[in-house]
Structure 1
Amino acid sequence: MTPAARLQAAIEVLADIFARRRPAADALKDWGLGHRFAGSKDRAAIASLTYDALRKKASAAWLMGAETPRAVLLGSLRLLPAMSEEEIARLCSGDRFAPESISEDERTRLQLDPAAVLSNAPAHIAGDFPDWLEPSLSRRFGDALPREMHALATRAPVDVRANSLKSLRDPLRQKLSHLGAADTPYSPVGLRFSAGEGGRGPALQATEEFQKGLFEIQDEGSQLVALLAGAEPGDQVIDLCAGGGGKTLSLAAAMNNSGQIYATDNDARRLAPIHQRLERAGARNVQVRTPKGRDDEPLRGLEGKADLVLIDAPCTGVGVWRRNPDAKWRVRPGALEQRMAEQDFVLGRAARLVKPGGRIAYITCSTLIEENEDRVSAFLNDHPEFSPVDAREQMALAPDALCERTDIIAGDGLGLLLTPARTGTDGFFLALLRRSG
C-alpha cells in the first residue's frame, strides 16, 4: 500500500470508531480482516495513524475547524508527526485509493501555526482530554496541567522488564542491541526501545528472547510500582487484581521464586493469559486462584495471613492514555464514581487478608486524586488498624536515580505519583498501608 492509501484506510478506521464508539483495536482488526491484501507493515502504519489521531483528536479538530474523521486525521498529521501542509497535500492527491484532494479551507488551516491556533483554545481542547475531567485534572496538576496533558497525548516508548529468573539486564541488552535496546532511566531491570518514526516499536514478541521468557513487555512505571511494593523472598503475597499477570510476574522475580504468591481476579476471563506467561517466565511460586462463580471466594482460608496484598485497582486509566488513547474518549462521568466504588470494595477486601504487621500496596494507573489519595484517606478513616507508610520512607526502596525525586511525592507523603511529564513513564500511583502489629 502507498502512504496515501494507508492514510485513506486510517480515515475509514477512524470513521468506524467514531460511529460505533468501539475500541480502536477492534476496528483495526475488522479492517484487516476485510482487507487481507494489506501486509503487516501496512496494518502497523494504519494503526499508528489511527492512534496518533486519537491522541490529538480534540486539538486536531480545533485546528481544522471540523470533527470529521478526515479532519481529525489531517489535523493530527500537522500536530504529532509535524508534517507540513505540502506533505499532507501530496498524500491527499485524489488518486485511486488516496484521500480526496484537500480543499482551500483545509489548505488554509494546515498552513496555520498550530501552537498559535491552540494558544486560545480551552484547556480540554489544547490538552486533548474530555471536558468533564477538567476539574479533576486541574485539582491534581494546577498550573502544570498543559505540560502534563501534552505528555499524555504523545507516543509512548516500548519498555521491557528483564526477567531476573532467567536473565539479568546487561546480557539481555546485548542480545537485543540490534533492536536499539537502552537502559530505562529508573528501573534497574528495564530496557527501552524507541517508538520509531511510525510510532511503533520493534516486534519484540517475535524474538527468541521473548519466547524463552527472558523478558516481559512492561512500562517502566509499572515495573517501578511493583518494585516499590517491597515484596521479599519468603513472603506470603496476594495479587488481588492480577488480570493478565504483569505485576504477578514482577513479584515472582523480586521474590526469586521463593515464598508464595496467590494471584486472583474478580473477572476469571482476565486471568486467562496468566498461565502461559507464568510458564514462559519460569515463575514457580504462584498459585492462580480463579473464581468459579460470581459469589465464589477463591481466597478463603487466607484471611489475616498475607505479608503483602497488592491491589492493581480498577480505575479510569487516565495514566495510560498514551497507549490507549481511544479509551479517554469512551470514558464517561459515571465511570469515575463506579471505579471509586470498586476501589473502596477491593481495599476493604484486602484489609481482611493482611496479617498484623503486613502491608497493602494500593496501585492505580490513574493520576486522579479521587481515585488515589481520596480512596486511601477514606480507607484509613474506616480502618484505624492501618496507617500509611510515608512516601519518603517508600523512596528508601527506590533505585538511586529516583530516590531524590521529591516531585513524585503526592498527598503530603500519602503516596507516590509517576507521570509521563515527570518521569517519562505511564501514570501510576502507589500507596503503602501497614496494619498495626
Structure 2
Amino acid sequence: MALTKSLFETAVTALTELQEGRGAADARLSAYFRDNRKLGVPDRAFIAESLYTILRRRRFLEYLAPDASPRRLLLACLVRLNGINPRELEPLLRKAEIEWLHELKAKPADDLPLPVQAELPDWLWARLVAQYGDEQALVLARSLQQTAPLDLRVNRLSGQREAVLALFAKEGIVAAPMPYSPDGVRLKDKIALNKHVLFQKGVVEVQDEGSQLLAMLVAPRRGEMVADFCAGAGGKTLALGALMANTGRLYAFDVSERRLANLKPRLGRSGLSNIHPQLIANERDQKLKRLAGKFDRVLVDAPCSGLGTLRRNPDLKWRQTELDIAELAIKQANILAAAARLVKPGGRLVYATCSLLREENEAVVEAFLAQHPEFKAGNAAEILAQQKIPLDTGPTLKMLPHQHGTDGFFAAVMQRGE
C-alpha cells in the first residue's frame, strides 16, 4: 500500500491523541476510528499496526530519537522498524526532517542498554531481573514484544474441538489444537471472528490458553455452587459454566455494571442457564455476607497490573507505575480475604492474576495463608494432572509467553479445612 501524505498525517494525529489521552490504547484507538469513519480498512490497518509497533518498541525509538515528537516517532518507526528507505518518504517530509531521518537511519544500534533491549521502563526491568536474572528476564521481555495469536475456547455444550478444527481446515483457516487446554484452538492468523458462524452460534469464544487453564484449576463439578468473584466480561465464567455442564449455580460477581453488561450477549450465545450475574458495590457488599460459607469453589481473578498481557496491551508497561503496583497489592489482599469468606469448609479457593510480579502473586498468597490458617496451599500441577493436562510449573501455576506460548498468568490453589 502506498503511503500518502494524507494517511501519514492521519496516523500522526492518531498517535498524538493516543499519547495525550488516558485509558487503554485499544479503547482510545477504537474511539478514534469511530470519529473517523471514512478511513478504509487498509488505512485503519496501517494506523493500528504503526501505533502498536511504537507502543511495543517505544524504548528503542526514544533511545534513537530522544524527545521526539509523535510525528518523528512515526518516521523513526517506519525507517528503523519497518525498513522503509528515507528517500521513499521524502515527499511527506519537511525540509528539516530529511537530513534528520537520514542520520537516524545510520545510527548504530549495538550494545544497547538491557532495559532498552527489553523495551521496558527501568523499574519494571529491575523487578524482572530480581525474579528471573538478566538472561531469562531478557528472553521473557522479548517474548512480550511479539504479537499474541488468536486463541479460542470451544464451548463443550455446543461443539467439539475436532469438529471445529475440521471446519476451519475446510475453510482454509490454519488452526491447531492447543498444547495444554483440551478445549483450546489456536489460529495462525487473525480473522473476522465475530462474523464467523461458530462465534455467532456460541461454539467458540476468544480466550487465551492461560485463562482457560484457570478454569481447569477451579475444576468445578456438576451441581456445585461456584463463584467467579471478579467476573469482568465473563470469559472464565463461561468456561466454568461449560465445565459444570450447565448444572449447579454459578455466580458472576463484579463491581462494574458495564462489564457485566458485556457478559450478556456472550451468555446468550453460550446456551448456559446456570450463570447468575451479580453487581456488587465492593468486596464488602451485603449480598456477599448473605452467601458466606456457601460455595464449593471460588475463583478470584484479581484486578492487577496486567503486565502478563503486554503482547496484547503494550501500553500497560508505560501506564503502570511502582505506586500502582503497591496500591494493587493492597486491593488484591482485601479482595482475596473477602472472597475467602464465601468458601465452605472443604471448598476450594483459586487466586489468579495476569501479572508477572511477585508483589501481586506469591506475596499476596503467602500473606493470606499466614493470616488464614484455615486455608492450606494446594498443588496446581496435581490438579491439572488429574484432568490429563500435561503441564507442571510446580505447586503454583505460572504461565509465561516464552515458555508456554500464552499470556503471563499466575494462579494459586488453596483448600479450606473441613
Superposition TM-score, scaled by structure 2 size: 0.91
Please tell me whether residue 421 in structure 1 is matched to residue 395 in structure 2: no
Please tell me whether residue 184 in structure 1 is matched to residue 165 in structure 2: no
Residue ranges of structure 1 left out of the alignment (5+ in a row): 196-200
| Structure 2 partner of 1:198 | none
Counterpart residue type for residue 58 of structure 2 = K
Counterpart residue type for residue 225 of structure 1 = L
Percent identity (aligned): 37
Q: Deviations over 1:174-208 (max 9, x none)?
A: 2223332222232221111234xxxxx11111112
Partner secondary structure for residue 231 of structure 2: coil
1:171 paired residue among 153, 163, 166? 163
Q: Deviations over 1:228-281 (max 9, x none)?
A: 222222221111000110000010111111222111112333211112211110
Relative to structure 1, is the Cα distance of residues 66 and 292 closer, same or farther in structure 2, using a 3 angstrom cutoff? closer
Indicate if the aligned counterparts of 2:329 and 2:364 stay in contact, CA closer than 8 A: yes
- Alignment partners' CA distance in 2, 1:398 and 1:99: 62
Counterpart residue type for residue 152 of structure 2 = V
Please tell me whether residue 219 in structure 1 is matched to residue 203 in structure 2: no
Indicate if the aligned counterparts of 2:152 and 2:186 stay in contact, CA closer than 8 A: yes
- Alignment partners' CA distance in 1, 2:66 and 2:412: 43
Indicate if the aligned counterparts of 2:284 and 2:338 stay in contact, CA closer than 8 A: no
Shift of 1:314: 0.5
Equivalence map 1:141-160=2 (5 Å): 141-143=132-134, 144-160=136-152
Counterpart residue type for residue 83 of structure 2 = S
Shift of 1:295: 6.6
Indicate if the aligned counterparts of 1:60 and 1:71 stay in contact, CA closer than 8 A: no
Shift of 1:152: 0.9
- Alignment partners' CA distance in 1, 2:205 and 2:176: 15
Please tell me whether residue 376 in structure 1 is matched to residue 365 in structure 2: yes
| Structure 2 partner of 1:3 | 3
Partner secondary structure for residue 288 of structure 2: coil
- Alignment partners' CA distance in 1, 2:95 and 2:143: 32
2:91 paired residue among 79, 89, 94? 94
Counterpart residue type for residue 167 of structure 1 = G
Relative to structure 1, is the Cα distance of residues 105 and 399 closer, same or farther in structure 2, using a 3 angstrom cutoff? farther
| Structure 1 partner of 2:59 | 58
Q: Mean alpha-carbon deviation: is it higher for 234-243 or for 102-111?
A: 102-111
CA RMSD in angstroms comes to: 2.4
- Alignment partners' CA distance in 2, 1:85 and 1:109: 12
Indicate if the aligned counterparts of 1:140 and 1:367 stay in contact, CA closer than 8 A: no
| Structure 2 partner of 1:28 | 29
Relative to structure 1, is the Cα distance of residues 157 and 113 closer, same or farther in structure 2, using a 3 angstrom cutoff? farther
Indicate if the aligned counterparts of 1:230 and 1:397 stay in contact, CA closer than 8 A: no
Please tell me whether residue 194 in structure 1 is matched to residue 183 in structure 2: no
Counterpart residue type for residue 357 of structure 1 = G
Counterpart residue type for residue 189 of structure 1 = D
Partner secondary structure for residue 425 of structure 1: coil
Q: Deviations over 1:144-169 (max 9, x none)?
A: 11111111111111111111110111
| Structure 2 partner of 1:107 | 102
Counterpart residue type for residue 310 of structure 2 = W
Equivalence map 1:350-429=2 (5 Å): 350-397=339-386, 399-400=388-389, 402-403=390-391, 405=392, 408-409=393-394, 413=395, 415-429=396-410
Partner secondary structure for residue 410 of structure 2: strand
- Alignment partners' CA distance in 2, 1:399 and 1:223: 14
Shift of 1:315: 0.4
Relative to structure 1, is the Cα distance of residues 169 and 78 closer, same or farther in structure 2, using a 3 angstrom cutoff? farther
Q: How many residues align?
A: 414
Please tell me whether residue 130 in structure 1 is matched to residue 121 in structure 2: yes
Relative to structure 1, is the Cα distance of residues 253 and 26 closer, same or farther in structure 2, using a 3 angstrom cutoff? closer
Partner secondary structure for residue 36 of structure 1: coil
Indicate if the aligned counterparts of 1:94 and 1:101 stay in contact, CA closer than 8 A: no
Shift of 1:20: 3.0
Indicate if the aligned counterparts of 2:380 and 2:397 stay in contact, CA closer than 8 A: yes
Shift of 1:84: 2.4
Relative to structure 1, is the Cα distance of residues 100 and 39 closer, same or farther in structure 2, using a 3 angstrom cutoff? farther
Indicate if the aligned counterparts of 1:21 and 1:330 stay in contact, CA closer than 8 A: no
Q: Deviations over 1:408-430 (max 9, x none)?
A: 33xxx3x1111111111011001
Please tell me whether residue 285 in structure 1 is matched to residue 280 in structure 2: no
Residue ranges of structure 2 left out of the alignment (5+ in a row): none
Indicate if the aligned counterparts of 1:64 and 1:110 stay in contact, CA closer than 8 A: no
| Structure 1 partner of 2:235 | 246
Counterpart residue type for residue 430 of structure 1 = A
- Alignment partners' CA distance in 1, 2:132 and 2:72: 30
Please tell me whether residue 256 in structure 1 is matched to residue 250 in structure 2: no
